[in-house]
Amino acid sequence: MRFDVVSIFPEYLAPLDLSLIGKARTDGLLELNVHDLRTYTKDRHRTVDDTPYGGGAGMVMKPEPWAQALTEIAETSPASVPERKPTLIVPSPAGEVFTQKLAYELSEEVHLVFACGRYEGIDERVLEWAGEQFTVRAVSLGDYVLNGGEVAVLAMVEAIGRLVPGVVGNPESLIEESHSDGLLEYPVYTKPSSWREREVPEVLLSGNHGKIAKFRREHQLRRTATRRPDLIDALDVSSFSKTERNI
Ligand SMILES: N#Cc1c(-c2ccc3ccn(Cc4ccc(CN5CCCC5)cc4)c3c2)n[nH]c1N
């Protein structure tokens, strides 16, 4: 999978050189190109923003630098072939919420392009214009306001990139993590078995895999019911045992 990110703060994406995503790039499993939007300006001051039509606080990102940057990226896209377009993700507090389900969906794509807005956002006409060369999606990291799209892109690239086959060493660890089955993950423990007078639950030391699986499932359900009751409503309980339904 290829990722392209356009930002006025390209150095914000430096953490993607590290750890799992960094190794996947070195191994050729992922490609990541970061572009400085100011490269695509034409004036001496490399201007990327201007005052908003209709008034209001702050500045809005000018459309033309975005069109120059996105056109260059689309021209070299492996997804720019008949019947196929690269996907342009525009982080925005007004976007659809980014979820594990969406991460899985996007991990199937060949080429993802991210447009990191700043100030009060990007001129809306860019998203309309981009629809000719891209499948455009406005996506929100969550219901709070950040200062720009870069933090959202760091999270999305990590969440999507780790789902690409080969990136995570043991794919089994993708199965039991939070949200993979609609539930939050179970609690985890490691040595020492006794720590500051707190013991690891006995069942986890038993070697009884059936009981361990039951313990973990019950804690997933209990945790989800307590911390995220909204997820419980979305569950298909038809596959739940009588005990599980009463947790
Ligand atoms: N993903 C994601 C995001 C973002 C995000 C993503 C991208 C940009 C680009 C700029 N900002 C800052 C901003 C955005 C909106 C306002 C409100 N204004 C009122 C009238 C027009 C806008 C003000 C500042 C961004 C924030 N925030 N939270 C998320 N989950």
Regarding an ipTM greater than 0.95, the answer is: yes
203 CA → ligand 1 middle, Å: 47
pLDDT digits (tens, 9 = 90+) for 197-247: 999 999 999 999 999 999 999 999 999 999 999 998 878 777 677 877 787
pLDDT of 220? 96
Nearest Cα residue to 37 out of 116, 109, 106: 116
pLDDT of 23? 96
Is residue 70 domain-shared with residue 132, that is, in the same domain?
Answer: yes
The domain boundary, picked from 161, 195, 229, lies at 161
Give average pLDDT by consecutive 10-residue segment, the chain, 247 residues: 98 96 96 98 98 98 98 94 92 97 97 98 98 98 98 98 94 74 94 98 98 97 96 79 77
Q: Which residue has its alpha carbon closest to ligand 1 atom 22?
A: 120
Is residue 203 domain-shared with residue 146, that is, in the same domain?
Answer: no
Has residue 167 been placed in a domain?
A: no
149 CA → ligand 1 middle, Å: 7
Is residue 81 domain-shared with residue 118, that is, in the same domain?
Answer: yes
Is residue 119 domain-shared with residue 227, that is, in the same domain?
Answer: no
Has residue 194 been placed in a domain?
A: yes
Is residue 7 domain-shared with residue 103, that is, in the same domain?
Answer: yes
Q: Which residue has its alpha carbon closest to ligand 1 atom 18?
A: 120
Domain harbouring 112, CATH code? 3.40.1280.10
Domain harbouring 213, CATH code? 1.10.1270.20
This prediction has a pTM of 0.94
Is residue 76 domain-shared with residue 192, that is, in the same domain?
Answer: no
Measure the CA angle with vertex 137, ends 179 and 169; round to 5°.
Answer: 40
Dist CA 80 CA 149 (whole Å): 24
Is residue 66 domain-shared with residue 149, that is, in the same domain?
Answer: yes
Has residue 166 been placed in a domain?
A: no
Has residue 8 been placed in a domain?
A: yes
Is residue 130 domain-shared with residue 206, that is, in the same domain?
Answer: no
Is residue 157 domain-shared with residue 113, that is, in the same domain?
Answer: yes
Is residue 184 domain-shared with residue 149, that is, in the same domain?
Answer: no
96 CA → ligand 1 middle, Å: 13
Domain, as residue range, for 82? 2-161
Q: Which residues line ligand 1 (CB under 6 A)?
A: 91-93, 117-118, 120-121, 140-142, 144-149, 152
pLDDT of 15? 97
Is residue 79 domain-shared with residue 138, that is, in the same domain?
Answer: yes
Has residue 168 been placed in a domain?
A: no
Is residue 45 domain-shared with residue 138, that is, in the same domain?
Answer: yes
Q: Which residue has its alpha carbon closest to ligand 1 atom 12?
A: 147
Has residue 171 been placed in a domain?
A: no
117 CA → ligand 1 middle, Å: 8
159 CA → ligand 1 middle, Å: 20
Has residue 182 been placed in a domain?
A: yes
Has residue 139 been placed in a domain?
A: yes
pLDDT of 47? 98
- Number of structural domains found in the chain: 2
The domain boundary, picked from 161, 186, 215, lies at 161
Q: b vs e for 72-102, b when ≥16 Cβ sit within 10 Å of the residue's Cβ?
A: ebbeebebbeeeebbbbbbbbeebeebebeb
Q: Which residue has its alpha carbon closest to ligand 1 atom 29?
A: 93
